[in-house]
Structure 1
Amino acid sequence: MLKIAVKPFAVACSVVSLLALTACSGTNAGSPSAGNGGDEGGSPSGSESKTVSLSVMTSDRFLELAKQKFEEAHPGIKVDIKEYAAAPAMGAKGPNQMIVTKPDPKNTEKYVSSVGTELMSGKASDIIVMSGLPYKKYADKKLLENIGELMSKDASFQMNNYYTDIFDAMKYNGALYTVPVKFGLNMWLGNQAVLGSEKIDDTKWTWADFKAIAGRWLTDQNKDGKPDVYPLGRIEPDQLITLMLNSSFAKFVDGDGKKAKFNTPDFIGMLKLAKSMYDDKIIPTDNADPNNVVFNPKANVMMYLDMYSMPKSFFDGKAAYYDLPSENGTGGTAFTTSMPVAINSKSANKKEAWEFVKFLLSDEMQSARELSGFAVNRSGAKAQTESLKTLGTGEGAAGKGMRLNINGKELALQPASDQDIAAIEKKLNNVKTYAESDLKIAGIVSEETAPYFQGQKSAEEVAKVIQNKVSTYLQE
C-alpha cells in the first residue's frame, strides 16, 4: 500500500502515482440511453434540449469539470454521466497523509459486463469509456463509430495539434474506434548508482535481453547467500506475467483480436523465462531494500509531476527512465490509457456526442490540472509541462514550499528547468506503441499460470489450457 503525504495539500487528488491511481469521484449519475431525442446528427434549436449520456466505471473531477464547462458553452445540450462504481476510498491517516487503494476488480468486471450487455442490446450510452472493454470485438459488430472519420470531416479539429502517433497506435483495421483522452507511460526507473556506465538499448530490448543483462549484476560480495543487489524489485508472479503479456500482447493475440497464439514456443519460452527470474534470484523472494534493486518494476508514469519528481525521489535521486522490455519489436515508448472513449454507432445523438468528445480533447480541457494524466493535445501538454516551472514558488496550483513524503522520505520540490521540460517533451514525442490489454485474457493467463509458478504443472500444460480458454473467449 502506498503512503503519500503532501505539504501543503495543494493538489486535488494524488500527487505522485506509482501505480495507476483512481481519481477523485464525482457525484453526478444518470441513466444510459442510445437515443435521447432528436434526429441523428441534428442540433438543438429553440427550446429543444438534448442529453448526451456517458458511461464510465468511476467518474472523476476532470469529467465533472468538462460536463460543467461544456453545458455552459452549449446551453441546448446536457451531459448525463452514469457512474457504475464509487471511487475507492482515500482515507486520511495522520496529518496531510492519504492511504490510496486500487479499484476493486469486481467493480471492473461488473462494468465490463454491464456495458457490454447494453452495447449488444442497443441500449448503451452515447459515449462509452472503454476501459477493460474489448473494443475490437464491438467494432467488428459495427457497434462503435469511427472517430477518425469524424475528426477528418470536422474542419475545426486540427489533427496537427495532437500526438498523432498515439491515435495511430490505437487504430484497428485503419479506423479509430476509441480515442484516449489521456495516457500513462510504461517505463521503469533504473538505479544509476548500480548501472553506472552500463549501455542499455531500451528502444528494442526483449525480456530475454533483460534477463541476460541482469545476470551480470548478481554478485554476493559479503557472502551472505543473497545478491548484493536484485536486478528487479519484488513483484508477484501473477503481476510479472501480466506485465510481460501486456508489453507483448500483439505477439500472442492477432491484431484483429480473433486468434490466440499461446500454445506456441514463444509463450512457453516466456513462461519459463518468468519463472527463471525467481529461481535465479533476479527477483527477491521478499521485499528487498528499495534502494538495493536495479529497476523498480512498479514505477509506471501516470502524470507530469510523476515524470519530473520520481527520478529525484528514488535511488537517492540517482534514477533514470527506461522503456519496458517487449517482444513486439515496434519500438518507441509504450503507453496505456485509463480513459479511452468511444461513440455508440447506434446513438441518435452522434453529432452532440462528437462535440463532447472533441471538447474533452480541446486545448482548454487538456490543459486542466484535473486531467491527471498526460495530454494527447500538444497545446495542453505544453501548458501542463510549463506548470512544473512554478513548483515551490507559490505560483499556480503547486503552491509554495510543496513537499512530497514517499514511503517515509520527504522531498521538497524545486521548479523544473528548461532542460527538465525538454527531456519530458522528448520522451512524449517518442510514444508510439499501445500497450494493449484485455482484462479477460489477462485474468485467464494470471489464473492458469499460478500452478506453473507453484511447480504443479509444466509450462506446456499451462499453455494448452490458456490457448483453449482464450480461443473460446475470442470466438464468443
Structure 2
Amino acid sequence: MRKLTVKQSVVACSLVSLLSLTACSSNTTTTTGDTGSTTTPATGNKTVTLSVMTSDRFLELAKQKYEALHPDTKINIKEYEAAPQTATGQGQGQGQQQQMVMVKKPDPKNIEKYASSVGAELMSGKASDVIVTSGLPFQKYADKKLLENISDLMSKDASFKKDSYYAGIFDAMKYNGSLYTVPIKVGLNMWIGNQALLSGQQVDDGKWTWSDFKKKASALVSDKNNDGKPDTYPLGKIEPDQLITSMLNSSFSKFADVGAKKAKFDSPDFINMLKLAKSLYDDKLILADNSDPDNVVFQPKGNVLMYMDMYMMPKMNFDGKGAYYNLPSESEAKGTQFTSSLPLAINSKSANKKEAWEFVKYLLSDEMQSSRELSGIAVNKNGAKAQIDLLKSLGTAGEGGAGKSMKLNINGKAMAVTPPTEQEAAAIEKVLNNISVNGESDPKITNIVVEETAPFFQGQKSAEEVAKVIQNKVSTYLQE
C-alpha cells in the first residue's frame, strides 16, 4: 500500500490521528437498514433509536458510556449504510509510527436514499426517536410539527447550561426562531491566504462580500512574463458547482424563505451573483487546471474538521506563511461559516422524547465534547478547551505528545510539530467564538441551483434564463 502524505490524510480524519492511538474508522455494532430496533428491551427499560446514515466511533463510544451510566436505557443506532472503506498509511514520528486514515466521502446517492427513507418514516409516524438530519430538509418537517422544538427543551431543562455552548452556532441553526436540529460537532469553511503575496494588502474578512473579493482579486492577478497566463491566481482550484454552492449558502435567506414558501431566484441580486461567479473563471481569477497549485493567493481548503488543522494547515501551506480567512458573504450575518456532519433532531411523535433529549444532551456534554473520537470542532466551550489543551501537549510529556517529539513529512520536507504558543492558541479560540454563519441550506434547493446553473457556466444559457428555471422549480418545491 502506498504511503499517504499528510496533505492527503487531512481529508477526513486529518492530523488529529497524530494525537490518537485509535483510527477514525468504526467497528460498529449497529442495526443496518431500515428495520428498526432488533432488540426487545427488558420490562421497565427504554430503547432510544438513533437514525444515521453511517455510524462512527464517537456514536459507538457514546452508546457504550451512556448505557453504562443509564442501565435502564438502551441506545439502538440504526445505520442505513455500512461505514465506507478506509485507506490507511503511516506517518512518521520520532521512534514511532502514527496511523493516518482517509475516509471516503459518502456517495450522494446514498445521502439521497437516506433522506428519502427517513422522510418517509417521519411522514408515516414510524421514525426513530433521534434523527441525524444531514441531507434532510428539516425545515419542512418542522413546519409539519414532526420535529421537537429543541430550544424549548433547553430552556425548560435547568441542568442544561446554554452559556457553556457557542451561541453563534446555535443561533445560526435556528429556524423561525427555534432550534429543531442541533449540531453535535461542526467543520469550518475557511480559506488559507498567502501572506507573502498579500503583503501590504488589507483584507477585512469580517465583512467582505463576493463583490469585494472580486475587486481585491482583480488587483492581485499578475502576468510578469507577459505570456497571457497569470503567474498568480487569486483563488485556488474550485469547481463551479462548489463555488455556486458556497455563494448560495452565504446568502441563502436573500433568495429563499422556506417558512413563508417564497423564492426570489429571479431577482437582480441572484442574477448578478451568477454573473459574478462566472466572471471569476472568465477573467482567470481561479486557478486553471494546468497551473501550479501553490501559485495562488487564497486556497479554498474545504471543511476544517480538526483543531490540529486549525493549528498546522497554515504552517503547511505557502512555506509556513499561511493564515485563515473567512469566506465572503452576502448575508447580514458575518463571521466564520460552518457545516455539521452530525446535526440531530428529535421526533415529536416519539414515545421516548424525555430519554431522547437526555441522550442528545449527553452527546453535548463536556465529557463527550472533549473526547478524541469527536472528529470535529466541539460546540461545547469546555470541550473545545480540552481539545486545545491537548494540542498544547504536543512534543511534551503530556498525554498527546507522550514525551516524544514529532515530525511530519510535507512535500518531501521534514517539519517538526511543536506545541502552539499562547498567542496561537488564543487565535484558535478567537475563531471559535466567531462561528456564526450556517454554511448549509435546504439540500433540495441547493441541488436545483447546482443542476440548473451547470449550462450557464458552460456558456449554453444566460443567467436570466437559468434564474427563471430555478425560480419556477424552487417555487414548486416550496409549495409541496
The alignment's TM-score, normalised by the length of structure 2, stands at: 0.90
> Which residues of structure 2 form unaligned runs of 5+?
18-22, 92-98
> What are the within-5 Å matches in structure 2 for residues 248-397 of structure 1?
248-254=251-257, 256=259, 258-393=261-396, 395-397=398-400
- Give distance in 2, aligned partners of 1:429 and 1:326: 18
Which secondary structure state, in structure 1, belongs to the residue aligned with residue 304 of structure 2?
coil
- Specify which of 150, 162, 165 is matched with residue 165 of structure 2: 162
Indicate if the aligned counterparts of 2:184 and 2:363 stay in contact, CA closer than 8 A.
Answer: yes
Which residue number corresponds to residue 218 of structure 1?
221
Letter in 2 for 1:475: Q
**TM-aligned CA deviation for residue 267 of structure 1:** 1.0
Task: Give deviations 1:396-444, integer Å, cap 9, x for gaps.
Answer: 2455333444565553311111111111111111112222322222221
Range with bigger deviation, 189-198 or 385-394: 385-394
1:126 aligns with 2:129: yes
Q: Which one of the candidate residues 46, 49, 53 is aligned to 1:53?
A: 49
Q: Distance in 2 between matches of 1:3 and 1:197?
A: 39
Contact 1:185 1:333 in 2 (8 A): yes
Indicate whether 1:79 and 2:82 are aligned: no
SS at match of 1:411: strand
Q: How does 1:159-238 map to 2 (within 5 A)?
A: 159-238=162-241
Q: Partners in 1 of 2:186 and 2:354 — Cα distance?
A: 25
Matched, 1:438 2:442: yes
Q: Counterpart of 1:15?
A: 15
Most deviating of 396-405 and 334-343:
396-405
Structure 1 CA distance for aligned equivalents of residues 4 and 429 of structure 2: 26
RMSD of the TM alignment (CA)? Answer: 2.7
1:469 aligns with 2:465: no
Is the deviation greater in 355-364 or in 426-435?
A: 426-435
Is this contact kept in 2: 1:32–1:54, CA < 8 A?
A: no
Name the CA shift for 1:34/1:156 in 2 (closer, same or farther; >3 Å): farther
Residues 90 and 101 in structure 1, CA contact (< 8 A), matched pair in contact too = yes
For each residue in 1:243-274, what CA deviation from the matched residue of structure 2 results, as whole angstroms up to 9, or x when unmatched?
Answer: 11122212211262622211111111111111
* Length, aligned pairs only: 462
Query: Is 1:92 matched up with 2:95?
Result: no
- CA distance in 1: counterparts of 2:457 and 2:303, whole angstroms: 25
Structure 2 CA distance for aligned equivalents of residues 223 and 419 of structure 1: 42
Equivalent residue of 2:262, what SS? coil
Q: Tell me the CA shift for residue 224 of structure 1.
A: 2.0
Asked whether the 8 Å contact 1:36–1:51 carries over to 2, the reply is: no
Give the secondary structure class of the aligned counterpart of 2:192. Answer: strand
SS in 2 for 1:68: helix
Structure 2 distance, partners of 1:74, 1:293, is 53
Unaligned runs of 5+ in 1: 39-43
Q: Secondary structure of the equivalent of 1:291?
A: coil
Deviation readout 1:327-353 (Å, 9 max, x if unpaired): 102112222111110100000001110
Matched, 1:107 2:107: no
Judge conservation of contact 1:34–1:348 (CA < 8 Å) in 2: no
In 2, the alpha carbon distance for the partners of 1:385 and 1:94 equals 24
Task: Report % sequence identity.
Answer: 67
Q: Please, which moves more after superposition, 311-320 or 95-104?
A: 95-104
Contact 2:168 2:436 in 1 (8 A): yes
Alignment of 1:125-144 (within 5 A): 125-144=128-147
Asked whether the equivalents of residues 3 and 97 of structure 1 are also in contact (C-alpha less than 8 Å), the reply is no
* TM-aligned CA deviation for residue 94 of structure 1: 7.5
Deviations 1:179-224 (Å, cap 9, x if unpaired)?
Answer: 1101122211000010012111111111111011111111211122
If the length of structure 1 is used for normalisation, what is the TM-score?
A: 0.91
Residue 413 to residue 221, structure 1, CA distance change in 2 (3 Å): same
Shift of 1:394: 5.3
Give 1:152 shift.
Answer: 1.3
Partner of 1:416: 420
Q: Is the 8 A contact 1:66 1:365 kept in 2?
A: yes
Q: Name which of structure 1's ranges 350-359 and 259-268 shifts more when overlaid on structure 2.
A: 259-268
Partner letter of residue 133 of structure 1? L
Deviation at 1:81, TM superposition (A): 0.2
